[in-house]
């Protein structure tokens, strides 16, 4: 009996220390909302005035490289008095406070009310100054929320770092990509690999695809947009075929892809956002393509993500491909 009492006493003491440590840690709920949702906490008087227009111009502008109009973010506005606890865990929040006599202030806070949350607060003495501050920082604000959405997706993809697909890509191309097991090899050659993931929703097809191809690096002119598209067309013409006889993928000639230079993990990368279609077949959709130079092996590596989802919006499916490609490491 004494031994049992002694053990219980030690357990109580241990539990007490554990509880004290736990009490010092804040346990946050998971963030709510869908990818691409942005909650605007701003009184309607200002949301329908200059400050609100500045927010809409930034976040409701059209996402480039999609076959139909889709905004960069889906905006949800609530006035301050309606910002109840049910809204607190929202994944992306912008709070605009107009307070006479206040100083201009822009603050960025992470995980304020929920995990993986981003909250940006703008305080200004007038509607006009709030609008000017929002417009002046438009590029930074967009990057904050875009990068956060990408980071959330990449956190999900980390579990795939040692998947069979990731290991195969590493063996074939000498690079790492956190690709899940649902992707299957559709076509391959020594310098080319096409993987696809198909599913249905409401009886309608959704297909997300990754292509990787390499070719010798000759000069910086390789990154001319027309040369990059010519290379893409070469590989898709050869390997990406449709269900109809003689059908194959091409990039739309009428739509010159939007080109941008970015730094990815310290490496210069060329980004293209464009549209593809299937020659001799009724299929099409958006693609995002990243090209970079592998100096060690004197080659260009292209990683391409494209989407086919004729009955659905495509912004978030393409964002998934972008996040996945950006997990690349050598």
pLDDT band at 265 (very low <50, low <70, confident <90, very high): confident
For the stretch 75-124, pLDDT in tens is 999 999 999 999 999 999 999 999 999 999 999 999 999 999 999 999 99
- DSSP character at residue 198: E
203-257 per-position pLDDT tens digit: 999 999 999 999 999 998 999 999 999 999 999 999 999 888 999 999 999 999 9
CA distance 309 to 291: 25
Burial 195-220 (b: 16+ CB within 10 A, else e): bbbeeeeeeeebbbbbbbbbeebeee
Residue 126 in tokens: 């007038």
Determine the pLDDT at residue 329. 87
CA nearest to 274, candidates 264, 283, 285, 263: 285
- pTM for this prediction: 0.89
| DSSP one-letter string for 180-197 | -TT-EEEEEETTEEEEEE
Domains of the chain, by residue range, sit at 37-156, 161-325
HSE of 133, CA atoms in CB hemisphere, 13 A: 20
**Arch. (CATH architecture) of 161-325:** 3-Layer(aba) Sandwich (3.40)
């Amino acid at each position: 009996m004494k031994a049992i009492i002694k053990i219980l006493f030690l357990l109580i003491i241990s539990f007490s220390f554990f509880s004290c440590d736990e009490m010092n840690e804040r346990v946050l709920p998971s963030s709510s909302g869908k990818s691409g949702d942005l909650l605007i906490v701003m009184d309607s008087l200002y949301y329908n005035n200059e400050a609100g227009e500045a927010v809409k111009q930034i976040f409701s502008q059209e996402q480039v490289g999609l076959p139909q109009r889709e905004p960069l973010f889906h905006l949800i506005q609530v006035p301050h008095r309606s910002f109840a606890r049910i809204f607190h865990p929202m994944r992306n929040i912008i709070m605009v406070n107009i307070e006479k006599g206040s100083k201009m202030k822009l603050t960025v806070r992470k995980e304020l009310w929920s995990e993986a949350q981003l909250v940006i607060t703008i305080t200004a003495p007038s509607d006009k100054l709030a609008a000017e501050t929002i417009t002046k920082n438009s590029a930074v604000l967009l990057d904050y929320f875009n990068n956060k959405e990408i980071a959330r997706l990449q956190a999900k993809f980390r579990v795939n770092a040692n998947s069979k697909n990731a290991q195969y890509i590493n063996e074939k191309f000498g690079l790492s990509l956190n690709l899940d097991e649902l992707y299957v090899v559709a076509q391959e050659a020594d310098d080319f690999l096409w993987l696809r993931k198909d599913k249905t929703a409401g009886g309608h097809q959704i297909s997300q695809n990754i292509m990787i191809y390499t070719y010798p690096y000759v000069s910086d002119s390789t990154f001319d947009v027309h040369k990059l598209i010519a290379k893409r067309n070469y590989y898709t013409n050869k390997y990406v075929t449709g269900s109809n006889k003689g059908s194959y993928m091409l990039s739309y000639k009428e739509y010159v892809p939007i080109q941008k230079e970015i730094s990815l993990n310290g490496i210069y990368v060329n980004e293209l956002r464009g549209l593809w279609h299937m020659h001799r077949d009724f299929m099409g959709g958006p693609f995002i393509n990243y090209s970079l130079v592998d100096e060690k092996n004197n080659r260009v590596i292209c990683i391409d993500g494209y989407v086919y989802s004729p009955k659905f919006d495509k912004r978030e499916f393409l964002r998934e491909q972008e996040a996945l490609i950006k997990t690349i490491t050598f």
